[in-house]
Amino acid sequence: MAKLALEGGTPYRKRPFPRREPFGEREVELVVEAVRSQNLFGPTGDKVPEFERRFAELYGVRYAVASTSGTAAIHIALGTLDPEPGDEVITAPITDAGTVVPILYQNCIPVFADVDDTYNMDPEDVERKVTPRTRAILVVHLFGNPCDMERITEVARRHGIPVIEDCSQAHLTEYKGRYVGTIGDMGCFSLQQSKHMTTGDGGVTVTSREELAERMALFRDKGWTRKPGWGRRSYLFLAPNYRMTELQGAVGLAQLEKVRDVVRRRNELGDMLTQLIRDLEGVVPPPVTPGGRHTYWLYPLRVTKWPAERFAEALTAEGVSASAGYIGEPIFLCMEALASKRTFGRSGHPLDGCHGARVPEYAPGTCPKAEEVLRQMVTLGLHEGYTQEDVEDMAGAIRKVAECLKDG
């Protein structure tokens, strides 16, 4: 039997995997155009409006509002709903803080629905968490695997609750013939460096509802109407400044030209890796939601026979970089603002019962399935620049570790 590299054996993969190179000459060309225009201000430029138009066209929706980050895109969606202080937003326990920060900044209470076997929000637990104060359901399509949107939208319709989709990790991800982000009331996308398409950082919020689109655009720009006939200035409501620049818009236009191929290739490579390791005892490949198509922002394994930390360490030693746990604990335990209920200054607002809201409890056991998943999870990087040989080496290293690592 082969000897693990962790124990002095020869690593399975001896050379580095290819570095991702998302940018090319087309991005350079359009950025130079933007700079030469002598105007990098999005509201009066031409790159950002064109990027918004083409992004909406790609997804088959009527409106897209570009912004500074995925977090901003989610905040725009929540701000558009204009919730009351103390209202509740049901969301996912396995996510980035960028999903939760907008909820708190809109003075709302994050409520966490546990996950199912897809690692996404369990629609049954979503319904259990609905109260008279629930203002929105904010679903997260984790790792590029779509949520069960059919059942979640059924819950939302029964209770008259809007659905916001966090598609930060799920560009052009399909669910039953539709793209995620177009199924709920609003969809939110991140353009951060690691995403399927990127402007370094940036975000987009989409909808096909005109009344939402108007407020989305205003919320992105301090509530400023920018319309003639209103006097020198008119700010209709309290809102931040999340305007995208022409530089980001220029890069975004180039990225739109290639994102279909990026997503198609990631799907092919991720599915290939799953086929190569699906017979391994104790290793569970990424689940795919029925009716969905995984786009593999990351490739999440679950290991059931060994500690995830030990498996990730052994796999990394074999030349395949791996991390244990993704975020380690559910977001309400690893995000200090929630875990300690310290948010603004020394206060715990809005988690302090303000405006008749309930005081939430964020403790171990709140989402037991999510805790179990994270204890067993090992994540691997995978991008469109990999070759079939690269994926075969990943599979070979996983197989070697699974066969040689002593049972945990």
Q: What are phi and psi of 301, to 5 degrees?
A: -95, 155
The span from the CA of 325 to the CA of 309, in Å, is 8
Question: Residue 203 and residue 73: Cα distance in Å, rounded?
Answer: 5
Is 195 designated active site? yes
Cα–Cα distance list, 318 to 8, 34, 271, 315 (Å): 11, 45, 22, 5
Integer Cα distance of 180 and 12 in angstroms: 37
Q: What is the β-pairing status of strands 134-140 and 377-380? A: unpaired
Catalytic-labelled residue, pool 47, 129, 195, 400 = 195
**Inter-axis angle of helices 25-36 and 246-256, to 10 degrees?**
150
Single-letter amino acid, residue 404: C
Look at residues 312, 341, 315 and name the one whose alpha carbon lies nearest to residue 328: 312
> How far is the C-alpha of 33 from the C-alpha of 46, rounded, in Å?
11
Q: Which of 172, 219, 211 is nearest to 60 (CA)?
A: 172
Q: Are strands 299-303 and 203-207 parallel, antiparallel or unpaired?
A: unpaired
Degrees (nearest 5) of the Cα angle 243, 249, 254? 160
Torsion from C-alpha of 168, 173, 176, 181, nearest 10 degrees: 30
For the annotated catalytic residues, the residue numbers are 195
